[in-house]
Amino acid sequence: MNKKILFIPLVAFLVLAGIFATQLVRNQDGDDPTKLESVLVGKPVPKFHLEDLAEPGKQYDQSIFKGEPLLLNVWATWCPTCYAEHKYLNELAGKGVKIIGMNYKDDRNKAIGWLNDLGNPYLISLFDGS
């Protein structure tokens, strides 16, 4: 058997151990792996005009985001991740976090029923059915 082949697992292990050690050192130096960085932080909200989910004639624009920090959650009844995170949004709302929901590419009646069944954590529910 070729002796070089025996060294392949050792080299792979050492490379992976080096990557792991490097990440551990970075985390100690303040690189927080739970922090989500975004190019949108500090940028103005794009202009929009959307209807209220429950009141079709009522319109909202980007001015609803002025004045205080808010969490914007884009969700849909067809989105499995949205379903999984919904209980956490209800918990956050219960702790005083102000959340605006934007229902995206969905059926209005299904979305209203979904919020009625699972709870509505949103101060405002926007509807973007397009």
Residues 21-54 have pLDDT tens digits of 888 777 666 666 667 677 777 788 889 999 999 9
The pLDDT of residue 61: 93
The pLDDT of residue 8 is 81
Helix boundaries (H) for the chain: 3-28, 80-94, 108-118
CA atoms within 13 A on the CB side of 28: 6
DSSP SS3 for 29? coil
Tell me which of 6 and 78 has the higher pLDDT: 78
pTM of the model: 0.68
Q: Higher-confidence residue: 6 or 47?
A: 47
95/126 Cα distance (integer angstroms): 22
**DSSP 8-class letter at 63:** G
Whole-number pLDDT of residue 32: 67
Q: What is the CA radius of gyration of the chain?
A: 23
The pLDDT of residue 91 is above 80 = yes
* Lookup: tokens for 66: 């002025």
Mean pLDDT for 50-62 is 94
> Residue 55 pLDDT > 90, yes or no?
yes
The DSSP H or E segment spanning 125 is strand 124-128
